[in-house]
Amino acid sequence: MKILTVVGARPQFIKAAVVSHELRKKHTEILVHTGQHFDHNMSGQFFEELNIPDPDYNLGISGGSHAEMTGKMMVEIEKVLLKEKPEWLLLYGDTNSTLAAALAAVKLHTPICHVEAGTRTHSKTNPEEINRICTDHVSTLLLASTQSGMDEMKKEGLSERGYLVGDPMYDAFIQYSGKKDVRELKMETLEGITVKVPDEFYYLTCHREENTEDDKCLREIFTAMDRLDAPVVYPVHPRNKQRAIRMRKERGFRNLILVEPVGYLESICLVNHAKKIVTDSGGLQREAFFAGKKCVTILDFVIWPETMVGKRNVLSAPKAEEILSKLAQGQKIDKNYNPFGDAQASKKIVEMLEEKI
Ligand code: UDP
């Protein structure tokens, strides 16, 4: 089979890493990188560390409005699809790259396989929600990571095309955990200094549009982090960099260690060793769950309901007091509860593509 995969953002590189290795054992994969994430520490580093084959096409499209980015991507992806004529288009998650590729392919009658299908936030303000819904509705094969994805697809009449395969993020977490020694980790601060990871620390990631539109949310989040009983490691997403540097100058927030984005192996090492996690990332919420770490998610919608069981992951508004009180709550872990599959999702994804060709 000839499969064309389109990726563009950090979480997609991680999923593609595990699936591509499986796919390329028997099939031909053409890899297209839209360029949505382009900084070395948001893109190239992942390809190197995770040994992802170099993209066959790099479209170099990033920035601009949602419509601008999606439109430009559609035009270029259509050209690649017409040239390569793949049997399947393989897509991950919910980014503008996912949506653009889906819309370009469906008009060319290229069958689409969507991994992470059925994920829903039911939020009107979450920009990725429309990408998920549209991609699912034009896809031929809908592969859900969890049962809640299957349930959501049922509500939308998509069950006939839906299959539960497990979460490739869990495959990656299992395959790559332990590849780095936390005592050896070195991170570069935004001030350009190389630092080691403290013995005890919290891990913060924050990058979503909802939390980065103005200073207010980040100021509340930083205020909470500043009051914690151990330093907080925060790899700052490029979207937040200037604001974080300015806020540090204005207010100090000395309990925060502001570092450049870290590689995936470093990130899951931080997850595995942190006291607790504070995040607005869909990936981090699941990784906290995989590692058994208490997680507070600064969003007003649930994206992975499975992680919320036993208060292992709780939502908080971007308000300092609420974040701190939610972080202080305990969690209940049931070791037999494993809703993200058996770390064989990548194999199952390839098997489904073979079966449904
Ligand atoms: N991650 C990383 N380096 C960082 C921060 C996060 O490798 O500096 C990883 C993290 O471990 C997770 C993924 O990036 O696997 C999550 O991506 P992101 O938060 O960008 O997207 P989302 O999951 O919200 O779609």
Nearest CA to ligand 1 atom 14: 11
What is the pLDDT, as a whole number, of residue 212? 84
Secondary structure (DSSP) of 244-279: HHHHHHHH--TTEEEEPPPPHHHHHHHHHH-S-EEE
Query: Mean per-residue pLDDT for 8-26?
Result: 97
Q: Is the CB of 14 inside a 6 Å radius of any atom of ligand 1?
A: yes
Q: Is the CB of 283 under 6 A from ligand 1?
A: yes
| Average pLDDT of the residues of the chain | 96
Which atom of ligand 1 is the closest one to the Cα of 263? 7
CB of 11 closer than 6 angstroms to any ligand 1 atom: yes
Residue 173 counted as domain residue: no
In-domain check, residue 318: yes
With a 6 Å cutoff on the Cβ, whether 204 touches ligand 1 is no
Per-residue model confidence (pLDDT) at position 93:
98
**What spacing in Å lies between the alpha carbon of 264 and ligand 1's midpoint?**
7
| 315, 187: one domain | yes
Residue nearest to atom 2 of ligand 1 (CA): 264
pLDDT tens, position by position, 80-125? 999 999 999 999 999 999 999 999 999 999 999 999 999 999 998 8
In this predicted structure, the answer to whether residue 127 has a pLDDT above a threshold of 90 is: no
Q: Whose CA is closest to atom 25 on ligand 1?
A: 282
Residue 174 counted as domain residue: no
Query: Are 257 and 234 members of one domain?
Result: yes
* Residue 116 · residue 138 · CB < 8 Å: no
Residue 255 burial by CB count (10 A; 0-12/13-18/19+): exposed, middle or buried?
middle
Burial class (CB in 10 A: 0-12, 13-18, 19+), 127: middle
Is the model more confident about 127 or about 297?
297
pLDDT in tens, 265-301: 999 999 999 999 999 999 999 999 999 999 999 999 9
In a domain, 59, yes or no: yes
* Phi then psi dihedrals of residue 142, to 5 deg: -110, 110
Per-residue pLDDT at 95: 96
Q: How far apart are CA 209 and CA 199, in angstroms?
A: 32
Distance CA 94, CA 104 (A): 15
* Structure confidence at residue 217 as a pLDDT band (50, 70, 90): very high
Q: Is the domain of 108 the same as that of 205?
A: no
pLDDT of residue 214: 82
How many whole angstroms from 206 Cα to the centroid of ligand 1?
Answer: 10
Query: Does the pLDDT value for residue 177 go beyond 90?
Result: yes
The enclosing domain of 306 has a CATH number of: 3.40.50.2000
pLDDT band at 213 (very low <50, low <70, confident <90, very high): confident
Task: Single out the residue of 284, 277, 317 nearest to residue 301, CA to CA.
Answer: 317
The answer as to whether 61 is a domain residue is yes
Ligand 1, atom 7: closest residue by C-alpha: 264
Instruction: Give the residue-averaged pLDDT of 141-145.
Output: 98
Ligand 1 centre distance from Cα of residue 267 (Å): 8
Is there a catalytic annotation at residue 207? Answer: yes
Q: Are 210 and 310 within one domain?
A: yes
Answer yes or no: is 251 within a domain: yes
User: Is there a single domain that holds both residue 147 and residue 215?
Assistant: no
Each residue's pLDDT tens digit, 236-270: 998 889 999 999 999 999 999 999 999 999 999 99
Q: How many angstroms separate the alpha carbon of residue 245 from the centre of ligand 1?
A: 20
Is residue 176 one of the residues assigned to a domain? no
One domain for residues 148 and 196: no
Does 163 lie in the same domain as 61? yes
Residue whose CA lies nearest to ligand 1 atom number 15? 283
Q: Quick one: 128 and 249 in the same domain?
A: no
Rounded Cα–Cα distance for residues 162 and 141 (Å): 6
Overall average pLDDT of the 339-347 stretch: 98
Establish if 223 belongs to a structural domain.
Answer: yes
Residues 255 and 141 in one domain: no
Q: At residue 138, what is the residue type?
A: V
Q: Which atom of ligand 1 is nearest to the CA of 280?
A: 24
How many domains, in total, are found in the chain? 2
Under the banding of pLDDT at 50, 70 and 90, the label for residue 7 is very high
Same domain? For 200 and 104 the reply is no
- pLDDT bucket at 210, cuts 50 / 70 / 90: confident
Higher-confidence residue: 63 or 339?
Answer: 339
- The whole domain housing 299 covers 182-328
Quick one: pLDDT at residue 67? Answer: 95
Please name the residue whose Cα sits nearest to atom 8 of ligand 1. 261
Q: Tell me: pLDDT of 334 over 90.
A: yes
Let me know whether 324 and 349 are in one domain.
no
Q: What's the gap in Å between 281 CA and the centre of ligand 1? A: 7
Is residue 340 pLDDT above 90, yes or no? yes
Q: What is the mean pLDDT of residues 165-169?
A: 98
- Distance, CA 74 to ligand 1 centroid (Å)? 25
User: Residues of 265-290 as b/e, b for ≥16 C-beta within 10 angstroms?
Assistant: bbbbbbbbbbebbbbbbbbbbbbbbb
Same domain, 116 and 95: yes
Q: Reply yes or no on whether the pLDDT at 66 is more than 90.
A: yes
